[in-house]
Amino acid sequence: MTTLHPAVIDGTYDVARVRQDFPILAKQVYGKKLVYLDNAASAQKPVQVLDRMRFAYENEYSNVHRGLHYLANAMTEAYEQARERCRAFLNAPTLEEVIFARSVTGAINLVASSLGQSIGEGDEIVLSIMEHHSNIVPWNYLRERKGAVIKWAPVTEDGAFDMEAFKGLLTERTRIVAITHMSNVLGTVTPIKEIARLAHEVGAVVVVDGAQAAVHMPVDVQDLDVDFYGVTGHKLYGPTGIGVLYGKRALLDKLPPYEGGGEMIRTVTEAGVTYGEPPHRFEAGTPPIVQAIGLGEALVYMESLGRARIAAHEASLGAYARERLSAINSVQIYGDAPGKGAIFAFDVKGAHPHDIATVIDRAGVAVRAGTHCAMPLLGRYGVTATCRASFALYNTHEEVDALADALIKAQDLFA
């Protein structure tokens, strides 16, 4: 049973207490208090994660699996405990369905490469226009190399997933449906469970980019009935270089390996190679051991706060941010789908997003500016770049005010 964090022990959500776990949030930039609103790109790390990783390096470090000495056993136990924490976080049925990858990008490339070996000329892959490049480029390889056809599910003007248009894209040639669970630009939450049901009716495999959704809302892969679901550690308050791919065991058993090397084999002889069982079949070489342990600790941290409490806190931040930003005449927000996450892509009339981000940075406010690795989506709205403010479990209403005040001053500067 997860121990409750002191910030929620009395049933409330004490964000000031939460912030004490993130030393970097006390930092000043340009003499101003840091307001970190670039969480959709990468979140900050609590001391619990940093301390656990340091302990692993200082007290337990060894390579995992196959070693018989004390440190190898200790490190293997900690590493596989992290796998169990990831399994529980996603409610995957078994440990064998939880594969460690370097990121969601690595997870999607694994699936695309392995599934791609059975893709042929004219086979169809359905994506949404909201996809991050990580969920576009690997499938484009199959278009270039295998003759696959990519179809694009659109969004409505307010950024909602267009379910009726999606239904019209599905045919007996649809082999793969690869969709984000939450847009990293619009914050739109897609109806993944219904998408999966419809895709399965035509025999397609469903691959979900959960990089954003798993941070902001509970995810149950069994309830969603998806075939593959990827998450990444550095957005989940864990380290970089580690992610997780959930895959249904029946599919993993059929997939050829993605990479070759140690750990993923059963036997190697001069005559040939036999491969191991999932998940190790897909984890060639020495894995990111301490990073996996750090991710496991980050998930424990989130559970100690309560994912429902985190979601409620972020929903409050999102509603307030929408109110404050909408009141600024020169600010245009892209995406207002019902139930969206606390992610806001916007621009300021008369100023380039890069200029806006640079100006408000001097006020201590950190946002991202650019394409957000979502060029097709920005093209749909007729823009080449936007600013993006994205909120996390440690952000406050006062930081929303700091963002709004900085934008008002920037507006006056560029008027």
Active-site amino acid positions = 373
Q: What are phi and psi of 150, to 5 degrees?
A: -100, 130
Task: List the one residue out of 125, 128, 192, 134 whose CA is nearest residue 159.
Answer: 128
- Between β-strands 272-275 and 265-269, what pairing exists: parallel, antiparallel or unpaired? antiparallel
Using an 8 Å Cβ cutoff, are 216 and 393 in contact? no
* Vertex 39 angle, CA 38 and 44, to 5°: 110
DSSP conformational letter for 225: T
Q: What are phi and psi of 346, to 5 degrees?
A: -155, 165
User: How many helices, marked H, and strands, marked E, lie in the chain?
Assistant: 15, 17
Q: Which residue has the tokens 């040939």?
A: 272
Q: Which residues contact 284 (CB under 8 A, 6 or more apart)?
A: 257, 258, 259, 260, 261, 262, 263, 264
| Euclidean distance between CA atoms 294 and 288, whole angstroms | 10
Q: Report residue 78 as tokens.
A: 């900690």
CB burial readout 375-412, b (16+ within 10 A) else e: eebbebbeeebbbbbbbbbbbbeebbebbbebbbebbe
| Euclidean distance between CA atoms 209 and 291, whole angstroms | 20
